Amino acid sequence: MNVTVPIEVIEEKIFLIRGDKVMLDSDLAKLYGVETKVLLQVVKRNIDRFPPDFMFQLTNQELAILRSQFVTSSQWGGRRYPPYAFSEQGVAMLSSVLRSPQAVQVNIEIMRTFVRLRRILASHADLAHKLEALEKKYDIQFRSVFDAIRQLMAPPVKGEKQIGFRVEKE
């Protein structure tokens, strides 16, 4: 079975919580093609494989903050308890307890996405260090150039209108 999940879909499901990049149990269950309760049952049967740095349950406050970042709050609706979050290591450990062909293929894609994100972050950090070194080296007259470069390096803000002319066909 060859299940491919676009990297963009996986990236949308990775959140930064408690300083770690994590994925939520319900998102993982959908990707693996199982119900959330089935995923959590398997995890609980193998709980010794999931220490707190691999998996943790969100607090109500963390869940409220996460919900406030989305237009619809019903994404995790109907649950009686906050979701569990799995770190990169926790997702890797899931591959040892979920053995369906789909789970294996999806897990490979998720691991590739985590690696890709780590590379992107590392390249941005390297670029920021080089820019800082250049700033120290050159005169204040170039500060506006460096500020413009920093703005270009910043991730785009969703919802901003594009600048430019739009030609309408008659």
Q: What is the pLDDT of residue 134?
A: 66
Digit-coded pLDDT (tens) for 62-119: 888 888 776 544 555 567 888 999 998 898 888 788 877 777 777 778 877 878 877 8
pTM metric for this prediction: 0.62
What span, in angstroms and rounded, lies between the C-alpha atoms of 143 and 140? Answer: 5
Question: Domains of the chain by range and CATH?
Answer: 7-122 (3.10.260)
Tell me what pLDDT residue 73 has. Answer: 45
- The Cα–Cα gap between 47 and 38 comes to 14
Q: Is the model's pLDDT at 27 over the cut of 80? A: yes
The CA-based angle 42-48-51, given to 5 degrees, is: 105
> Given its phi and psi angles, is residue 159 left (phi above 0), alpha (psi -120 to 50 degrees) or beta?
left
* DSSP letter assigned to residue 65: H
Q: What's the pLDDT score for residue 72?
A: 47
CB 53 within 8 A of CB 107: no
In 3D, which of 83, 84, 93 has the Cα closest to residue 50? 93
Is 54 or 161 the better-scoring residue by pLDDT? 54
Whole-angstrom Cα Rg for the chain: 21
Which residue would you say has higher pLDDT here, 50 or 80? 50
Q: Is the dihedral of CA 73, 76, 82, 88 positive or negative?
A: negative
Closest residue by Cα to residue 87 from 50, 54, 112? 54
- Report the pLDDT value the prediction gives residue 36, as an integer from 0 to 100: 92
User: Cα(137)–Cα(141) distance, rounded to whole angstroms?
Assistant: 12
CA dihedral (70, 121, 163, 158) in degrees, to 10, reads 0
pLDDT tens sequence across 122-158: 777 777 777 777 666 665 556 677 777 778 877 766 6
